[in-house]
Structure 1
């Protein structure tokens, strides 16, 4: 059993929807939660969103993320010689 307090304006809107749909407020809330949870689960993860870009710009350097400062320094030294 869950009990919650709603802001007055939200409770008024809930009452209006319940009346229009000819349902109890509890039914409207349950259906809303089911809809929200179902759609929340369908959201792709950060990995899924970026997966098509992973490895797209391969440099062939396996430790680039670890030793990036060394590679930047080397590139700058090479450029300014």
Structure 2
């Protein structure tokens, strides 16, 4: 799965984009976040405020309980503001 990180999530993880093999036990967005947090301290720090992180699955905004299914891309980003 291709994962993209934006704004402070990207700064904390240290990469803009990466491709990972998702374990079979990872079924939802929340499962993926939990998995990423176990990778190392940078991911744990990036997802420390998971309630503040927004998610898009194949460029469609989704909630944490969304099933990943056959998605090709997931993006993590903080809430957007502006006008």
Short-chain TM bin: under 0.3
Of Structure 1 and Structure 2, the greater helix share is in: 1
Q: What's the TM-score, normalizing by structure 1?
A: 0.22
Larger radius of gyration: 1
Higher RCO, 1 or 2 (CA under 8 Å, sep at least 6)? 2
Q: What's the TM-score, normalizing by structure 2?
A: 0.22
Of Structure 1 and Structure 2, the greater strand share is in: 2
